[in-house]
Structure 1
């Protein structure tokens, strides 16, 4: 790296100027300071990339875990209907997420860090919501909610990982095998669920409208 830095210094012409206007001791001091600054900057860039990579890898791993739970929740729902038992549902939950404990956040910008560190809090809040669905709602509805929220959490994790890699110049994630179509798989599940819920709302609204019209007709007789 020293040779690279010296080459840049010579190329810029600053070394020739310094030889004319400064004594050799001053030139030596300036070169030492410059070299140390350049080396430290290189080290900081490396540390930033390493931290960004750790962040991205943890998010991508979580996305895969959520995808697995998404399918498990669907299986548990079908199993419960077939067996008339809720035993298969008891292991269904939105996975917990936390970043590696020794992650050095100081290497990332405040804006990026703020967005990243908000993600575990969002997951925690969603888990609390799902707990209430489990406690007060229908178990099959709970499975659907877990699958839906798992897909959304996984997709958001991939988006944050992609943003972090791009921001700090880390090579893009190139998943293979069953992960090669992960983002599309998550998007399709979210779209199907949202469309199903939209149609359900429309049927419910139509039913209430018909019921209201029938009631008004009876009252007018």
Structure 2
């Protein structure tokens, strides 16, 4: 349709970006029809695990988000100097966000409109461990994680296990191989009860196509119209 010509999300950002990997994140946000929404009442930082060199962080900054970027290696210089980006030198798999206050109970869900994203290089089982840790702790309402395969045969068993893990902890979860994914898929998980009304799973149907969606970038390929 006119929103996604040839089924491609508008993910090309003009100007220098630390890496082209940001396009995968924008495709995931378009698919979810959701994005981090910085507002006066929402002080949640978006957590970017395995952030270096900073492609996903840079895209999130263009949305106006504050970022906590976790990696053993520093980000691109421009991001390291950005006062809205907090760089944490450390392990993406052991990082934990600030814990809930004592007044919060174990039955409460994750903080509303809280996000964790990760494009960290790891074996599929490690990505599943990361997903389970965050889902079990209900540390974020929305999770976007790249599951990177090894070799020529996708690890579908590992992927099924990851999806089942998220659902076991009360999250919806879906996996997509986007145009900008390579030998990998993007996992998108979200808490069952969203703060902005009940979040319903969106399939690739006419209802999803009719939504305006998030438009941050330009078309990856220019439209080629027939000559008159």
Provide TM-score, normalisation by structure 1: 0.22
Q: Write 1 or 2 for the structure with the bigger share of strand.
A: 2
Q: Write 1 or 2 for the structure with the bigger share of helix.
A: 1
Which structure: larger Rg? 1
